[in-house]
């Protein structure tokens, strides 16, 4: 099966994921693989075992390549490989001996993705690239974009949004590009939007409007990538130099698994933390209830789970309060850089 990488990066905030749970070392972790970023970030907690799971084998080939880079390359070399600098192909040659035959074949077949930078090659990233290159020039100049992201007070940011940014063209083209039809066809998988019952474009527009009026947008590397194609002013957690060695020394705990995440929830695995990304967004209420039964049966007491809701409300502690409670998060948490999400949920399984 010649599957395509859908997400070359994780578009959920790893800093929020880590601070909300404050995980102790030697844990058993289950994580949605996707681009691998947040699974690598979770390796920084020194787990005993971490399963990174995805149904899409291309996503796992991406994770395997990233893991090999952490294992074999220096920090600057890893960044050069991921961004597709002129040396990327040379670094890929170094990694080939570390890759499984299917993974090696995948990247040899898709060598153009190595040259372009693997973190730019997902369907979702290409969607943003089209927005950045083909749509934004009709809305705002690079100068105006830089002004939006430049340091300002909260009031100055709000004023800038209303006076210079929130134009008729911005409203119209943004809502057109992030409509359910366009997003489903060119950005995400169409089936992922089946459970969405609200106006997609209006919801995303309002989420963006709130964030772009806030000082937080100035330092949001997700937003910088969307508008400029670069992660600034800082990199995602797993790519920050101060975290590199810590992740590298815990790579032995990582196991990549293909399949549905529920295939790996059983008495033998006994996960005490699960990163479910936003998978419940795609489930109808019956499927969500069935997933709850699985967690109720096999997840240990006091296990913690973290996940996001985008446009579909799926919260275990609301639907099944007998099984899950909201976890007592730290009082001071970072603002969610995934500004398009409605909420991030951290829950703990009740003792029975």
Q: Vertex 283, ends 279 and 285: CA angle to 5°?
A: 135
Q: What is the pLDDT of residue 192?
A: 59
Query: In the predicted model, what is the mean pLDDT of the chain?
Result: 93
pLDDT reading at 2 higher than 60:
no
Per the rule left: phi > 0, alpha: psi between -120 and 50, beta: everything else, 12 is beta
Mean pLDDT of 277-283: 92
Q: What is the pLDDT of residue 1?
A: 45
90-118 pLDDT, tens digit each = 999 999 999 999 999 999 999 999 999 99
- Give the model's confidence band at 198: pLDDT under 50 very low, under 70 low, under 90 confident, else very high: low
Q: What is the pLDDT of residue 195?
A: 66
Mean pLDDT of 336-345: 94
d(CA 73, CA 92): 10
Burial 223-246 (b: 16+ CB within 10 A, else e): bbbbbeeebeeebbbbbeeebbee
Work out the number of other CB atoms within 10 angstroms of the CB of residue 194: 14
Work out the number of other CB atoms within 10 angstroms of the CB of residue 63: 22
Q: What is the pLDDT of residue 199?
A: 74
Q: Which domains does the chain have, with CATH numbers?
A: 14-117+253-349 (3.40.50.150), 123-228 (no CATH)
Transcribe 131-172 into DSSP letters.
Answer: IIIIIGGGT--HHHHHHHHS---HHHHHHHIIIIIS-HHHHH
* Inter-residue contact 309 to 3 (CB < 8 Å): no
134-160 pLDDT, tens digit each = 999 999 999 999 999 999 999 999 999
Per the rule left: phi > 0, alpha: psi between -120 and 50, beta: everything else, 22 is left
* Inter-residue contact 311 to 340 (CB < 8 Å): no
Mean pLDDT of 152-171: 98
* Inter-residue contact 19 to 330 (CB < 8 Å): yes
d(CA 69, CA 312): 36
* Inter-residue contact 29 to 49 (CB < 8 Å): yes
- Give the model's confidence band at 54: pLDDT under 50 very low, under 70 low, under 90 confident, else very high: very high
Q: What is the pLDDT of residue 68?
A: 99
């Amino acid at each position: 099966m010649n599957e395509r990488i859908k997400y070359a990066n994780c578009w959920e905030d790893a800093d929020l994921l880590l601070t909300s749970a404050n995980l102790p070392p030697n844990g058993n972790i289950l994580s949605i693989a996707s681009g691998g970023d947040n699974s690598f970030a979770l390796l920084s907690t020194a787990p005993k075992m971490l399963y990174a799971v995805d149904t899409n084998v291309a996503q796992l080939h991406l994770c395997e390549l990233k893991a090999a880079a952490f294992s074999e390359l220096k920090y600057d070399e890893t960044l050069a490989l991921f961004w597709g600098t002129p040396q990327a192909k040379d670094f890929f040659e170094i990694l080939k001996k570390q890759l499984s035959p299917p993974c090696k074949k995948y990247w040899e077949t898709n060598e153009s993705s190595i040259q372009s930078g693997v973190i730019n090659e997902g369907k979702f990233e290409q969607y943003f690239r089209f927005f950045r290159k083909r749509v934004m020039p009709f809305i705002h100049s690079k100068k105006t974009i830089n002004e939006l992201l430049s340091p300002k007070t909260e009031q100055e940011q709000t004023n800038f949004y209303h006076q210079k940014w929130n134009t008729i063209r911005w409203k119209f083209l943004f809502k057109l590009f992030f409509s359910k039809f366009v997003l489903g066809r060119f950005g995400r998988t169409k089936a992922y939007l089946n459970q969405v019952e609200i106006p997609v474009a209006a919801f995303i527009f309002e989420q963006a409007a709130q964030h772009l009026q806030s000082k937080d947008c100035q330092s949001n590397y997700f937003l910088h990538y969307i508008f400029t194609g670069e992660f600034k002013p800082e990199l995602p957690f797993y790519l920050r130099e101060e975290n590199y060695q810590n992740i590298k020394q815990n790579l032995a705990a990582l196991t990549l698994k293909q399949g549905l995440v529920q295939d790996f929830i059983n008495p033998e695995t006994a996960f005490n933390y699960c990163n479910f990304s936003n998978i419940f967004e795609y489930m109808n209420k019956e499927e969500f209830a069935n997933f709850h039964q699985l967690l109720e049966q096999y997840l240990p007491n006091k296990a913690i789970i973290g996940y996001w809701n985008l446009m579909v409300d799926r919260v275990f502690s609301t639907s099944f309060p007998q099984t899950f409670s909201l976890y007592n998060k730290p009082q001071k948490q970072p603002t969610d850089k995934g500004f398009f999400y409605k909420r991030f949920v951290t829950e703990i399984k009740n003792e029975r």
